[in-house]
Amino acid sequence: MRYRSLERLTIIFAWLTGLLLLSAVSLLLGYLFIKGYQSVNLTLIFGDASPLRAILLQERVFNGLFPAIVGTLILVLLSVFWAIPIGMATGIYLAEYASPRAKRVLDAFFDVLSGIPSIVIGLFGFAFAVFLHKHYSDRIGPCLLISSIALSFLVLPYIIRTTQASLEGIPRETRLTALALGATKFQNIFLVLIPRSLTGIMSGIILAIGRCAEDTAVIMLTGAVASTGLPRSLFAQYEALPFYIYYISSQYADRAELMQGYGASIILILLCAVLFSVAYGIRKGLTHFALYRP
Amino acid sequence: MKRYRELIAERVFLLSALASSAITVAILVFMVFMGLPLLKQGGLYQLLLKPWAPFQGSFGIYPMIIGTGAISLLSLLFAFPLSLGCSFLIGSIAPPSVSKWFRRLIELMTGIPTVIYGFVGVFLLVPIVRELFGSGSGLCILTAALVLGIMITPTMTLFFCDSFDRIPKAYLDAADALGASPVQKLLYVILPAAKQGMINGVILSLGRAVGDTLIALMLAGNSVRVAESVLEPARTLTAHIALVIAADYESPEFRSIFACGVVLYLFTMAVTFLVRYLTFSKDQTV
C-alpha cells in the first residue's frame, strides 16, 4: 500500500512539474508577445526611412532596428564562415583518422571548449583586441572581425561534434563499399561519407547560426554598441539585436524605446524559432545537439 | 601523386584538429598571462578572499565567487525538481503522443535566447518580487535564480531524458513482461539504472548555470557586497567581467577580471573532467 501511494505521488508530481514549466514558458512568451505585438511593423525596423531605400543603402536608418538586424546577420555569417572549415576538418579527423587515444585526448579539449562560459570567450576576444591594438596597429580595437572570430570559437564545438557524430553514424557497409572498389580514403570521405552525412552537418551548422544570433555575452565585450548605424568595415563597431535588447532593458529613456526593445525581442525569438525549426526539419531529434550547447 | 594528395589531406585534417584544441589552451594561457601581474602583487589569498574595494586598493573577487555560488546553487534547487518531473513525464508517465510532443517543445525551449529571459524577467518578475517581499528594488539573488532555474530546466530535462534513453531495452522489456505499470517501471527500473547519467546531467547543468552571464547581469542587482539573504543583490563572476570595462588596461581593476576568467575556466575544466571521470569509471564497471 505504501508503494502504491509513492507511485501515485510520482505521477501527480510529474504532471504538476510539466504544467508548471509549460505555464512558466507560456507566461514568458505570452507576456512578450501581448506587450510587444503592436510594435512589430515596418516602422520598428526602418524608422522614418523608406524600407526600399534603406535596403539599397541609399538612406540611413536612425530610429529603427535595421542596422542591428544587418549587424547580427553579418556577424553570424562571418562567424560561421570561420568556424565551418576548421570545425568540419576537425570533425573528419576525429571520426576517420584519429587513433582511439588521440581521440580521447582531443575529446577532452573540445568538451572543455564547449563548456567555457561565453563571457570568458568574449573576454579573451577583448584582451586579444587590446593586445593587437598595443602591439600592432592603433586602428584595431574591439570590432566586427574580433567579435566574429570569438563567436566562431564559441560554436566550433557544435560543428566538430555534429560532423563527427554524423560521420560515425554511417553504417559499415556504406563505409566499405567504395574502399572495396578501390577508392582511396580521401575519395571515400569526400565522395561517399560527407554527402551521406550532409543533413546532420547542416542541422548542426544551422544550430550554430542560432547560437551566434542569440549570444550577447561575447559581443558585448568585443565591439557591439547601441547605436552606430550599419557597420562600415570589418574593423568597425556594429549594432546587434541581442545587445540592443540588453541595452534597452537597462537604459531605455521613454516608452517608445521600451516598445522597440519588445519588438526587437520578438524579432530575435522568431529568428531563433525559425532556425531551430529548419534544423529540426532537416534532422529529427535534436536532443544531443541541445546538450552540446556551450 | 595520389599518395601525396592523401597525405596532404590527412595533414590538413590533423592541423585543423590541433588548431581547434590549441584554442582551448590559448584561452587559458592568455587569461593567466594577463592576470599574472595582479597575482604577483598580492598573492592568491588577496585575490580570492578579499572584498572588492577599488578605492582602498583591494581587488579581491571573493564577493563575486559567493554571488556566483549562491545564484547558481539556488537556481539548481529550482530546476532540479522541475527537470526531474518533466523527464519522468517524457520518460514513461505521459502517453507516447504527449511525451513526444512535450519533448519537442522542451528542445525548442533550449533555443530561447538568454537575453529574452533577462528582458522579460526585468519587466515581469522584478516588479512582482519587489511587491511581494517589499524590500529593495526587486533585483536580487532570488529573482536571478528563479529565471536562471527556468532557463536551465529544459537542458537539464534533456540530460535526464538522454540518460533514460541509454538504458538497455532488455531491462525495460523485462519490466514490461513482469507486468509493471509505467510508473513502476520508472521508479524501480529506469531511475536506479540511470542514476549515474543523471548525476552527470546535474553537474553539467551547474556548469551552465555558473557560466550564464546575462540573467545574473540583468536581474541580480550587481552589488559588490556579500549578500546576507536571497533578497539582497549580488554580483556573479560573469557579470563582474561584463561590468568592469576599465579604460586603463594596466589597472588592477582590469587585471582582476582576468582572475574571474581564470576561475570560471578552471571551474569549467573541473566540471568537464569530473563528468568524464564519472562516465569513464562507469564504463569500466559495466
How many whole angstroms separate alpha carbon A289 and alpha carbon A292?
5
Q: Which of A11, A25, A250 sits opposite B109 (nearest CB)?
A: A25
User: How many domains does chain B fold into?
Assistant: 1
Residue B21 lies in a domain: no
User: Which residue from A94, A206, A221, A198 is spatially nearest to A149, judged by alpha carbons?
Assistant: A221
User: Which residue from B203, B239, B76, B211 is spatially nearest to A246, judged by alpha carbons?
Assistant: B239
pLDDT digits (tens, 9 = 90+) for A167-195: 998 888 888 988 899 888 888 988 888 88
More confident site: A222 or A50: A222
Confidence of residue A237 (pLDDT cuts 50, 70, 90): confident
A85 close to B (CB below 8 A): yes
SS3 A247: helix
Say which amino acid occupies B215: I
Residue with cell 581593476: B253
pLDDT digits (tens, 9 = 90+) for A105-114: 999 999 999 9
Chain A residue numbers touching B213 (CB-CB < 8 A): 117-119, 216-217
Rg over alpha carbons for chain A, rounded to the nearest Å, is: 23
pLDDT digits (tens, 9 = 90+) for B144-187: 999 999 999 999 999 999 899 888 889 989 998 998 888 888 88
Provide CB contacts within 8 A for B13, sequence distance 6+: A89, A90, A92, A93, A96, A97
pLDDT of residue B43: 66
Residue B222 lies in a domain: yes
pLDDT at A218 over 50: yes
Cβ atoms of B184 and A7 closer than 8 Å: yes
Q: Where are the beta strands (DSSP E) in A27-136?
A: none
Chain B residue numbers touching A22 (CB-CB < 8 A): 105
Name the DSSP letter for residue A224: B
Cα atoms in the 13 Å half-sphere on the side-chain side of B53: 9
A68 close to B (CB below 8 A): no
Residue B155 lies in a domain: yes
Residue B50 lies in a domain: no
pLDDT at A293 over 50: no
pLDDT of residue B42: 65
Total length of chain A: 294
Cβ atoms of A235 and A140 closer than 8 Å: yes
Inspect the interface and report whether the beta carbons of B115 and A112 lie closer than 8 Å: no
pLDDT digits (tens, 9 = 90+) for A58-80: 777 777 888 888 899 999 999 99
Cβ atoms of A153 and B23 closer than 8 Å: yes
| Minimum distance, in Å, between the CA of residue A230 and any CA atom of chain B | 22
SS3 A117: coil
SS percent in chain A: helix, strand, coil, step 5: 75, 0, 20
pLDDT of residue B1: 65
pLDDT of residue B153: 94
Q: Enter the ipTM.
A: 0.89
How many whole angstroms separate alpha carbon B214 and alpha carbon A150?
17
| Minimum distance, in Å, between the CA of residue A61 and any CA atom of chain B | 24
User: Which residue from B147, B123, B223, B27 is spatially nearest to A218, judged by alpha carbons?
Assistant: B27
Is beta strand B52-53 parallel, antiparallel or unpaired with respect to B58-59? Answer: antiparallel
Q: For B125, name the nearest residue in chain A, comparing CA atoms only.
A: A28
Inspect the interface and report whether the beta carbons of A18 and B86 lie closer than 8 Å: yes
pLDDT of residue B286: 42
How many whole angstroms separate alpha carbon B226 and alpha carbon B64?
8
pLDDT of residue A206: 85
> Domain containing B169 — which CATH number?
1.10.3720.10
How many whole angstroms separate alpha carbon A115 and alpha carbon A138?
33
Alpha-carbon distances of B84 from A24, A239, B73, B230, rounded to whole Å: 16, 40, 16, 24
Average confidence score pLDDT of chain A? 86
pLDDT at A294 over 50: no
Rounded to a whole number of angstroms, the distance between the first and last alpha carbons of chain B is 48
| Minimum distance, in Å, between the CA of residue A89 and any CA atom of chain B | 5
How many whole angstroms separate alpha carbon B125 and alpha carbon B116?
13
Provide CB contacts within 8 A for B243, sequence distance 6+: B217, B222, B235
Q: Which of A123, A249, A287 sits opposite B118 (nearest CB)?
A: A249
Inspect the interface and report whether the beta carbons of B119 and A210 lie closer than 8 Å: no
Name the DSSP letter for residue A41: S
| Minimum distance, in Å, between the CA of residue A49 and any CA atom of chain B | 27
Q: For B111, name the nearest residue in chain A, comparing CA atoms only.
A: A272
Cα atoms in the 13 Å half-sphere on the side-chain side of B200: 22
Q: Which of A10, A13, A109 sits opposite B21 (nearest CB)?
A: A109
Inspect the interface and report whether the beta carbons of A35 and B123 lie closer than 8 Å: yes
User: Which residue from A218, A243, A238, A240 is spatially nearest to A124, judged by alpha carbons?
Assistant: A218
Output the tens digit of pLDDT for each of chain B's 286 residues. Answer: 677 888 898 899 999 999 999 999 999 998 888 878 777 776 666 677 777 777 676 777 888 999 999 999 999 999 999 999 999 999 888 888 999 899 988 988 888 999 999 999 999 999 898 888 877 788 899 999 999 999 999 999 999 998 998 888 899 899 989 988 888 888 889 999 898 889 999 999 999 999 999 999 999 888 888 888 888 889 999 998 888 865 556 677 777 888 889 999 999 999 999 998 888 776 654 4
Inspect the interface and report whether the beta carbons of B24 and A112 lie closer than 8 Å: yes
Inspect the interface and report whether the beta carbons of B272 and A86 lie closer than 8 Å: no
Residue B256 lies in a domain: yes
DSSP string of chain B, one letter each residue: -HHHHHHHHHHHHHHHHHHHHHHHHHHHHHHHHHHHHHHHHHHHHHHHHS-EEGGGTEE--HHHHHHHHHHHHHHHHHHHHHHHHHHHIIIIIS-HHHHHHHHHHHHHHTTS-HHHHHHHIIIIIHHHHHHHH-STTS-SHHHHHHHHHHHHHHHHHHHHHHHHHTS-HHHHHHHHHTT--HHHHIIIIIHHHHHHHHHHHHHHHHHHHHH--HHHHHHSB--SSPPSSTTS-B--HHHHHHH---S-TTSHHHHHHHHHHHHHHHHHHHHHHHHHHHHHHHHHH-
| Minimum distance, in Å, between the CA of residue B251 and any CA atom of chain A | 13
Average confidence score pLDDT of chain B? 87
Inspect the interface and report whether the beta carbons of A245 and B30 lie closer than 8 Å: no
User: Which residue from A285, A200, A7, A107 is spatially nearest to B161, judged by alpha carbons?
Assistant: A285
Q: For A113, name the nearest residue in chain B, comparing CA atoms only.
A: B24
Residue B53 lies in a domain: no
A275 close to B (CB below 8 A): yes
Chain A residue numbers touching B181 (CB-CB < 8 A): 7
SS3 A285: coil
Cβ atoms of B158 and B107 closer than 8 Å: yes
pLDDT at A10 over 60: yes
User: Which residue from A81, A218, A89 is spatially nearest to A154, judged by alpha carbons?
Assistant: A218
Q: Which of A28, A117, A293 sits opposite B268 (nearest CB)?
A: A117
Structural domain of residue B76, as residue ranges?
61-285
Residue B66 lies in a domain: yes
Cβ atoms of A33 and A186 closer than 8 Å: no
pLDDT at A55 over 80: no
Residue B79 lies in a domain: yes
